[in-house]
Amino acid sequence: MTTNPGDGIEPDATAREWWEDPGLPWKHKPTRADIACLSWMGVASLYGLVLLPLRPVMLGLAPHLLGSLGYRTGLVMVGALGSVGDPWWPLVGVLGSLAAMKFDWIYWWAGKLWGHGLIEVWSGRSERARRRNQRAIAFTQKYETWAIFVTYLPIPIPAAVVYAALGAAGTGIKKFLAVSFAASLLSSALYIYLGWTIGEPAVELLNSYGNLLWYVSLAMLAGIIVVAVWRARTGKKSSSVPGPGV
C-alpha cells in the first residue's frame, strides 16, 4: 500500500534497508570500503572452497605447488623431498610463507572497519562460538601481535577473529603484516623441517598411495555438493558475511 503525506498514515516503521540486515557487520549505510572488504572476504572464502577438494591431488602430483600456496601438507612433503636431494625447498618455503598470509589483511581490515561487529556476526546465536571467539579476543588483547604467531600453529584458535581483533584495537597495517610474515616464515620452516626429519619414508608413502588421492578429492567434492544441495533444500539461514577462508 502506498502512503501519501496527507493520508495521515505513517509508513511501516519496521521496514528496513538491505544494509540493515542483522547478518551484516556494519551499523550504518555501507561505504565503498565496506563493500570492498566484504567482497574480498567472499573471494577468500571462495578460494578456500575451490582449493579444498584439489589439495589431495596437488599433494600427489605437485607438492611444490601446494607448498608454494602455503598449505602445511605441501610444505611437509617438500621438506621430505629436500631430504632426498630436491633443491627447491628454500624457494617453496619463502613463497609458501607469503601465500599463507595472503588473506590475513582482509580480516585485519574488517576489524578496523567494523570493530567487533564482524565477530558478533560470526558468533551468531551459538553460545559455544561466542565463548570461543571471546576467548580469542581476550587472548589477543593480552598478547597483542604475539597472538599472530599462535594462529600459525596447528591449534584450534580462530585466526580470523585474532586478526579482526587486532584491526579493531588499532594495530597498524605495517606492523601487522611484518609480524604475520615473520610468523608465517617461522611456521613454514618448522613444517619443512618436520618433513625433512621424516625423510624418505614420507616420499615412498606418497609414491605408493598417490593414485588414491584422486579418490579422496572426489569424495571431498561430492561432500561439498551434498552439503550445498542440503542447505538449499532446507533453506537453512546463515550469516550474510562469508566465514574465514580455508
Every domain of the chain and the residues it spans: 30-232
Q: For the chain, how big is the Rg over CA atoms in Å?
A: 22
Average pLDDT over residues 45-64: 85
User: Which pLDDT band, with edges at 50, 70 and 90, does 128 fall under?
Assistant: confident
Instruction: Report the 10 Å Cβ neighbour count for 169.
Output: 16
Tell me what the pLDDT averaged over the chain comes to.
Answer: 81
Q: Give the pLDDT confidence score for residue 30 in this predicted structure.
A: 83
Higher pLDDT, 81 or 233: 81
Report the alpha-carbon distance of residue 200 to residue 37 in Å, rounded. 44
pLDDT above 60 (res 168): yes
Closest C-alpha among 137, 140, 167, 184 to residue 41: 167
Report the alpha-carbon distance of residue 143 to residue 176 in Å, rounded. 13
Report the alpha-carbon distance of residue 223 to residue 217 in Å, rounded. 10
Which ranges of the chain does DSSP label H, i.e. alpha helix?
32-51, 55-61, 63-68, 72-83, 89-100, 104-114, 117-123, 127-143, 146-151, 159-169, 173-198, 200-209, 213-234
DSSP at 145: T
User: Which pLDDT band, with edges at 50, 70 and 90, does 4 fall under?
Assistant: low
Report the alpha-carbon distance of residue 84 to residue 113 in Å, rounded. 48
Q: Give the pLDDT confidence score for residue 24 in this predicted structure.
A: 75
pLDDT above 80 (res 169): yes
Closest C-alpha among 230, 110, 64 to residue 120: 110
Average pLDDT over residues 208-212: 58
pLDDT above 80 (res 100): yes
Q: Give the pLDDT confidence score for residue 58 in this predicted structure.
A: 84
Higher pLDDT, 57 or 76: 76
DSSP at 24: S
Report the alpha-carbon distance of residue 213 to residue 219 in Å, rounded. 10
Higher pLDDT, 212 or 193: 193
Asked whether the beta carbons of 78 and 88 are under 8 A apart, the reply is yes
Residue type, 233: R
31 sits in the region (left: phi over 0; alpha: psi -120 to 50; else beta) called beta
Give percent above pLDDT 70 in the chain.
73
**What is the residue whose three cell numbers read 538449499?**
232
Q: Give the pLDDT confidence score for residue 164 in this predicted structure.
A: 92
Asked whether the beta carbons of 140 and 166 are under 8 A apart, the reply is yes
pLDDT above 60 (res 137): yes
Closest C-alpha among 148, 154, 144 to residue 179: 148
